[in-house]
Amino acid sequence: MCQSGPGTGILVPTGKHAPAVGVDYEISHYFSESREFDGRAIKYRRAAVEFVAERQGQPIPLGDYDLIIGDEIVRLKHIAGDPAWLVLSSNA
């Protein structure tokens, strides 16, 4: 599981191998809770990506991306008007 805080990784469009760009990112983890039908509480550890920036300062187009951090992948959506990236799925 990747660590909270700043780091570096590779960003590629979802489902593709190129173009791959080196990025800096900030990731944090938080716990959320949901309830089962029987009232049992289940806690989940979730990742939140605060920002992703291309190392050369180039803008990153809107769309779906995979952030590769070592052998882990965080699937993201870059949307207009929000500096945070929406985490679609993660094994981080």
Span 51-71, pLDDT tens digits: 899 999 898 999 999 999 888
The parent domain of residue 12 ranges over 5-90
Q: In what order do the strands lie in the sheet with 86-90?
A: 41-54, 21-35, 5-13, 63-69, 72-78, 86-90
State how far the Cα of 13 lies from the Cα of 67, in Å rounded to an integer.
9
Span 42-50, mean pLDDT? 77
Domains contained in the chain, number: 1
State how far the Cα of 16 lies from the Cα of 24, in Å rounded to an integer.
20
With 0.95 as the threshold, say if the pTM is over it. no
Least confident of 30-34, 36-40, 56-60, 64-68: 30-34
